[in-house]
């Protein structure tokens, strides 16, 4: 089955700096790669996702890149703000069937210092 | 309106008890899930279910069982609770399994004493 590795486990940046979180996946059939943000005491919430037919996607200060050949994808947050502090999860899944469940990485705790 | 709601938010119970966590989604989604988040924040799929198929993570003990009275509900029943079951349990739903955004509930913190 799918296995998703995520690095780093913790990341501390100064406000205004950029933050990068990297993930690798094992199943070449995976074709959907979402990123979730989890704030303290809340459930994970989607912030951006990318599908395998796209190499990069951007939404304001957040961007995701995907390299299908190398089986890795990354989250980039620019101009970080204190409210970006949270745990971020990458995930991967393939179309339907028994492989269709989202498999999550172990999370990255991002701290943005004012 | 809350998209995915689960109750209770907190649950403290003794070893050996049987308990249930309820989940409801008002998004009209076809697929619902249960995830377990341990103390290290690792999110692990337990079950996914739509009206045609239940997929069980093979590592989940058979003391855990999902029950779906209708498309909008997927409840989690746990028998003979053990200390290691203590965790936060999240219910989620999506339109199509694995291909669209999953919406998560607020979580149920289960503590077994």
Task: State pLDDT tens for residues A79-102.
Answer: 999 999 999 999 998 765 455 678
Residue B26 has pLDDT above 90, yes or no: yes
Q: How far apart are CA A66 and CA B85, in angstroms?
A: 36
**Contact B42/A at CB under 8 A:** yes
Residue A38 has pLDDT above 60, yes or no: yes
Q: Do A101 and B105 lie within an 8 Å CB cutoff?
A: no
Q: How far apart are CA B11 and CA A8, in angstroms?
A: 32
Predicted confidence band of residue A1 (pLDDT cuts 50, 70, 90): confident
Kindly state the tokens that stand for A65: 């890149």
DSSP-based three-state secondary structure for B51: coil
Q: Which residue of B has its CA nearest to A43?
A: B106
Q: Do A93 and B99 lie within an 8 Å CB cutoff?
A: yes
**Backbone phi, then psi, for A82, in 5-degree steps?**
-55, -30
**Contact A96/B at CB under 8 A:** yes
Task: State pLDDT tens for residues B53-86.
Answer: 788 787 899 999 999 888 899 999 999 999 999 9
Predicted confidence band of residue B2 (pLDDT cuts 50, 70, 90): confident
Predicted confidence band of residue A70 (pLDDT cuts 50, 70, 90): very high
A26-62 in b/e form (b: 16+ CB < 10 A) is ebeebbbbbbbbbeeeebbebbbbbebeeeeeeeeeb
Average pLDDT over residues A27-55: 92
Question: Which residue in the set B33, B42, B99 is minimally distant from A106, CB to CB?
Answer: B42
């Amino acid at each position: 089955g799918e296995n998703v590795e995520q690095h780093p486990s913790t990341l501390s940046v100064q406000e205004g700096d950029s933050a990068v979180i990297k993930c690798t996946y094992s199943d070449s059939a995976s074709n959907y790669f979402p990123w979730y943000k989890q704030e303290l005491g809340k459930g994970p919430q989607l912030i951006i996702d990318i599908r395998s037919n796209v190499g990069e996607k951007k939404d304001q200060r957040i961007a995701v890149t995907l390299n299908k050949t190398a089986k890795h994808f990354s989250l980039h947050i620019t101009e970080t703000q204190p409210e970006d502090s949270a745990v971020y999860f990458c995930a991967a899944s393939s179309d339907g069937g028994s492989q269709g469940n989202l498999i999550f990485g172990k999370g990255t705790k991002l701290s943005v210092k004012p | 309106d809350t998209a995915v709601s689960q109750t209770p938010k907190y649950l403290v119970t003794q070893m050996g008890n049987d308990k249930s966590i309820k989940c409801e989604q008002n998004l009209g989604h076809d697929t619902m899930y249960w995830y377990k988040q341990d103390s290290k924040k690792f999110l692990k799929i337990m079950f996914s279910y739509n009206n045609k198929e239940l997929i069980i993570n093979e590592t989940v003990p058979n003391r855990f069982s999902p029950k779906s009275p209708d498309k909008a509900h997927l409840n989690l029943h746990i028998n003979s609770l053990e200390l290691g079951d203590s965790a936060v349990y999240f219910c989620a739903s999506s339109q199509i399994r694995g291909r669209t955004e999953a919406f998560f509930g607020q979580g149920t913190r289960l503590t077994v004493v």
